[in-house]
Amino acid sequence: MSTTSTETPSAPGPGAPLEPGAPRAASLAGAWRRFLLRRAGGLVVNLALLVLVTFLIVQLIPGDPATAIAGENATLAQVELVRTQLGLDQPVIVQLGQYLLGVVQGDFGDSFRYRVPSLDVVGAAVPYTMTITVVSVVLLLVIGIALGMAVGVATRGDRRRWLDLVFTGVAGVISSVPTYVFATGLVVVFAVTLRILPPAYSPAYDFGTAAILPIAALTIGGACSVARIVRRETAVILEQDYMRTARGWRLPALSLYAKHMLPNLLTTALTLAGIILTALLGSALITEAVFAWPGLGGVIVQAIAIDKDYPVIRAAVFVIGLISLVITLVIDIVLGLLDPRTLGEQRG
Amino acid sequence: MADPTTAVRAAGGPRTFAWNPALVVGLVMLGVIAIVAIVAPLTMSGQATGIGGTPNLGSAPEHPLGTDTLGRDMLARTLVASQATVLMAAIATGLSAAAGIAFGVAVWLAPRRIREIGLRAIEFAVSYPTMLVAIIVAAILGQGVVQVVIAIAVANIAGFARLTANLAAKIASSEYVSTARLMGVPAHRIALRHVLPNMAEPTLILIAGAFSGALVEISGLSFIGLGAQTPAFDWGTLLNDGLSKIAVNPVVILGPAVALTFTSLAALLVGDGLAAAANPRSNTTRARLERIEGEPAVQDADAVLVADGITVRHGVTGRTLVDDVSFSIRRGEVLGIVGESGSGKSVTASVVGRLLGEGLSASARRLQLGGTDLLGRVPERTLAEKMAFVYQDPGTALNPALILGIQLSDVLRIRLRHSRRGAFGILLAGFRAVKLTDPEGRLRQYPHQLSGGMKQRAMIASAMSVKPELLIADEPTTALDVTVQREVLTLLKRLNEESGTAVLFISHDLGVVRALCDRVLVMKDGRIVERIDDVRSLSQETVTHPYTKQLLAATPVVSVPVAADQDEVTA
């Protein structure tokens, strides 16, 4: 009888001696190994595609890329200079080969404007963008999950209708404000009217003080969006059979919600966090403009709109794409730690 | 324990579109925006673009939102710009929806190989920020209104494609599509007739979200200078112009800021409203359990559980789900309640277990468990150690995110005050008693690593670990395979005999019940229609109610000979 009911999805852990005839509880080592292998393979494919996309940015420019990049007023000599600098005078396959060779060595070509390797230009901006993005994501997840869970528990089964209405209204309005509008509003209130925080980044201000408003702008709206979703998810989880099981054990509220509900909530919240984080990275690129923040947003906008500095554009797109890929991977690993069922999914 | 609210809702008739305040308000707001977008450029473009007014005015009666650096009225500029902004967002959303849905359906209709590649391509695209995709497109095509619309449209295609592919896969595996396939309906007609209509609701919700996203993104691109170029203007460029004057004349950002938020909120409300309409929430009341006075119907001196006059009503509709049900269970006895779904047997068990679902109100004349009055205030600890539960589906009753050792020992540690080691020791002994292999290893496993039968045995071990006076087993075998059912029944019988724990056993299967129980109650429509005290000699002749006769006629005889099963368990 005992052997008929063993249905273990993964191999036994290494070093676990198998007694003949007595099936042992399986460990998750095998599932993790397969998961990491699969994700590593996915990462390589994604990187290759990313490099290809950055290569194509120049190739896909309508008309003659060299003429377009050099600008309308460029002399023939300038156009030819751009053409040779980007290798556009050679067959596409040779261009791709040379581009790949360069990328492997971390060389996206020299910036047209700054005359230094474009990866250096981009690299200098990365810490600024990453600081506000990462801090904001941590804050918005913590605030959003706590708020959403608290409201979800407080309004379960139609309790406290007023709270439901207030929360729905306030969170809805705040999450509708675009981050850059929110950022502008914060500048008006805290920098222009109250004069307690600097309106924009400048080496004259303390970095931490200057970062407060950008982080607040990115956090508050996002936290409300997360809270809205977490609240709905809380209502769903409270209806689950395993929560009734926990109530059947007469567990106190803290254990019920913090121990039995939260891990399940985090699975959803983190799946969401990946999407929010990449979206936030996009918002950060725009919001930086409000604060003259010296991050990737400023670099890429300047490169596209003013300098037509394609080596910098290529490097910036590659780096932003890389950050997105790493974020997605990290979140999936955290998800796997929290809920090993996600290891088996065919993702990435 | 079945949720009666769903049954009530299902009885409410065919599904109709549920209008709700969010949807109405959102649509009205969108209507206002549409009217402004059409009318404002016709009537106010002179004020919006005419140069010659006083520049950089603050809020003044004739210019409530001030004037810009060229003296143009910001209110007029904001209202006129709504046409360009909303049109750009709408076109971008329309383009990405059309392309994304077409791609998603094509991927789903394609041969398996191509479908896999298509799905991977979609996953690749959605893992990047839409803004990055938009920036790439802007880098290729340059700046301008058309470019930015194309950029945002391209960036949002993947989102629509993914939703469509996911929904199509879900619908494709549904029964009505497989039926249509079996009947030889060609693929494109299946797509047109069955797949697309059923995707309408989620797609509309996504469109509302995408429109709001496109609006914010296009304005954002204009805001950083990659979108509309002078002399064209939208809310994003207005905001950007205002930003440069923010220190001296902050009122000029008010127009575009409010306009963007208003429109985005309108789209959010419509999306929320559509979602709520698709999945309407019913009003519920809090669960209540109260005492009513009356002549006791149960007189049983040596009973562990006495339940007298249990009545349960739906809180909102007032419909009676359980009507004056009385019974008692003696020590060591197994009482079965049998009945079809909706007969009220699970609700009755939930009253006894003090786990009544939200929206129900229950009353009883007497509800007593081993000297404890369950109708009064009972300490949680007493409840936790006096009764335990085994539920229908061990796959959903166990917490998927916690290892067994943690979730099954919580009640021992928190309510029965055992140490961590003590609790694990009790649980291990329980696992051994239910014949789980490698008990120590099971403690570290997640529920999904065990088969259904093993999960149910772990659940039973946990239930018995508190040494309860009453075990409430609510259809504990229904979700299991027939062979596993037998094992679990044998196990319950053995534990009942060894520990003397009284069992309330709920089932829809008279065959299972007669094999296990000492006495059986038959429930129908919330009432007890038959009490069978002598299960051994149960036959068509010994029962009186026609429903019991029907049940009996439909049930094959199952027997669980106790002695034989002991051997089987230890084998």
Task: Give the CATH number of the domain where residue B513 resides.
Answer: 3.40.50.300
> B261 and B340: one domain?
no
User: In this structure, is residue B247 part of a structural domain?
Assistant: yes
Nearest residue, CB atoms, B223 vs list A245, A255, A289: A289
More confident residue, B195 or B231: B231
Q: Which helix (H) or strand (E) holds B277?
A: helix B254-278
pLDDT of amino acid B556: 66
Give the gap in angstroms from C-alpha A295 to the nearest C-alpha of chain B.
13
Question: Of chain B residues 273-332, which have a CB less than 8 A from chain A?
Answer: 283-287
Q: Is the pLDDT of residue A280 over 50?
A: yes
Q: Which of A83, A43, A84, A92 is nearest to A64 (CA)?
A: A83
- DSSP state letters, A74-107: --HHHHHHHHHHTTTTS-HHHHHHHHHHHHHTT-
Give the gap in angstroms from C-alpha A348 to the nearest C-alpha of chain B.
7
CA distance from start to end of chain A: 40
Give the whole-angstrom CA distance, residue B448 versus residue B137. Answer: 44
Q: What is the b/e burial string over B440-456, where b = at least 16 CB atoms within 10 angstroms of the residue's CB? A: ebbbbbbbebbbbbbbb
> B47 and B141: one domain?
yes
Q: Which helix (H) or strand (E) holds B326?
A: strand B320-330
> B272 and B330: one domain?
no
* Domain that includes residue B378, residue range: 310-554
> B102 and B251: one domain?
yes
> B482 and B351: one domain?
yes
User: In this structure, is residue B56 part of a structural domain?
Assistant: yes
> B144 and B263: one domain?
yes
Give the gap in angstroms from C-alpha A43 to the nearest C-alpha of chain B.
10
Which residues in chain B have Cβ-Cβ distances shorter than 8 Å to A251? 410-411, 414-415
User: In this structure, is residue B11 part of a structural domain?
Assistant: no
Amino acid at B32: V
Please say which residue of B265, B282, B299 terminates a domain. Answer: B282
Stretch among A177-191, B447-461, B510-524, B557-571 having the lowest mean pLDDT: B557-571
Stretch among A312-316, B324-328, B339-343 having the lowest mean pLDDT: B339-343
Specify which residues B308 forms β-bridges with: B366
Give the whole-angstrom CA distance, residue B100 versus residue B94. Answer: 10
Task: Inspect the interface and report whether the beta carbons of A317 and B446 lie closer than 8 Å.
Answer: no
> B319 and B386: one domain?
yes
Q: Regarding beta strands B320-330 and B303-314, do their DSSP bridges make them parallel or antiparallel, or are they unpaired? A: antiparallel
Task: Inspect the interface and report whether the beta carbons of A2 and B400 lie closer than 8 Å.
Answer: no
Task: Inspect the interface and report whether the beta carbons of A285 and B435 lie closer than 8 Å.
Answer: no
Q: Are B306 and B48 in contact (CB under 8 A)?
A: no
Whether B220 has its CB under 8 Å from any CB of chain A: the answer is: yes
Percent above pLDDT 70 for chain A: 91
User: In this structure, is residue B562 part of a structural domain?
Assistant: no
Encode pLDDT of B296-309 as tens digits: 877 777 788 999 99
Whether B270 has its CB under 8 Å from any CB of chain A: the answer is: no
Give the gap in angstroms from C-alpha A273 to the nearest C-alpha of chain B.
12
Nearest residue, CB atoms, B220 vs list A175, A242, A286: A286
Report residue A195's pLDDT band, with 50, 70 and 90 as the boundaries: confident
Which residues in chain A have Cβ-Cβ distances shorter than 8 Å to B246? 184, 187-188, 192, 199
Nearest chain A Cα to B228, which residue?
A305
Report residue B27's pLDDT band, with 50, 70 and 90 as the boundaries: very high
Hey, of A2, A3, A4, A5, which one would you mutate to test binding to chain B, going by the most B CBs within 10 A of its CB? A5
Give the whole-angstrom CA distance, residue A55 versus residue A65. Answer: 13
CATH number of the structural domain spanning residue B33: 1.10.3720.10
Which residues in chain A have Cβ-Cβ distances shorter than 8 Å to B383? 250
> B67 and B188: one domain?
yes
User: In this structure, is residue B8 part of a structural domain?
Assistant: no
Residue A45 neighbours by CB under 8 Å, 6+ apart: none
Q: Which of B535, B505, B498 is nearest to B519 (CA)?
A: B535
Give the whole-angstrom CA distance, residue A259 versus residue B402. Answer: 9
Report residue A24's pLDDT band, with 50, 70 and 90 as the boundaries: low
Q: What is the b/e burial string over B401-425, where b = at least 16 CB atoms within 10 angstroms of the residue's CB? A: bbbbbbbbbbbbbbbbebeeeebbe
Q: Is the pLDDT of residue A223 over 70?
A: yes
> B25 and B166: one domain?
yes
Specify which residues B372 forms β-bridges with: B369
Q: Is the pLDDT of residue A17 over 70?
A: no
User: In this structure, is residue B291 part of a structural domain?
Assistant: no
Specify which residues B60 forms β-bridges with: B63
Q: Tokens at residue A288, please?
A: 């930086």
User: In this structure, is residue B526 part of a structural domain?
Assistant: yes
| A303 backbone dihedrals φ, ψ, rounded to 5° | -65, -40
Give the whole-angstrom CA distance, residue B419 versus residue B96. Answer: 59
Which residues in chain A have Cβ-Cβ distances shorter than 8 Å to B264? 176-178
Nearest residue, CB atoms, B128 vs list A68, A158, A321: A321
Give the whole-angstrom CA distance, residue B332 versus residue B304. Answer: 9
pLDDT of amino acid B201: 78
Q: Which helix (H) or strand (E) holds A23?
A: none
Whether B198 has its CB under 8 Å from any CB of chain A: the answer is: no
Q: pTM score, two decimals? A: 0.81
Give the whole-angstrom CA distance, residue A197 versus residue A199. Answer: 6
Which residues in chain B have Cβ-Cβ distances shorter than 8 Å to A159? 286
Question: ipTM of this model?
Answer: 0.83
pLDDT of amino acid B558: 57
> B496 and B544: one domain?
yes
Task: Inspect the interface and report whether the beta carbons of A10 and B449 lie closer than 8 Å.
Answer: yes
> B266 and B317: one domain?
no
User: In this structure, is residue B302 part of a structural domain?
Assistant: no
Number of domains in chain B: 2
Mean pLDDT across chain B, nearest whole number?
Answer: 84
> B272 and B318: one domain?
no
Nearest residue, CB atoms, B124 vs list A46, A158, A244: A46
Task: Inspect the interface and report whether the beta carbons of B220 and A22 lie closer than 8 Å.
Answer: no
Sign of CA dihedral B450, B453, B456, B458: negative
Exposure on the CB side of residue A253, measured as CA atoms within 13 A:
4
Report residue B175's pLDDT band, with 50, 70 and 90 as the boundaries: confident
Nearest chain B Cα to A173, which residue?
B265
Residue-level length of chain B? 571
Specify which residues B429 forms β-bridges with: none
For residue A211, the SS3 value is: helix
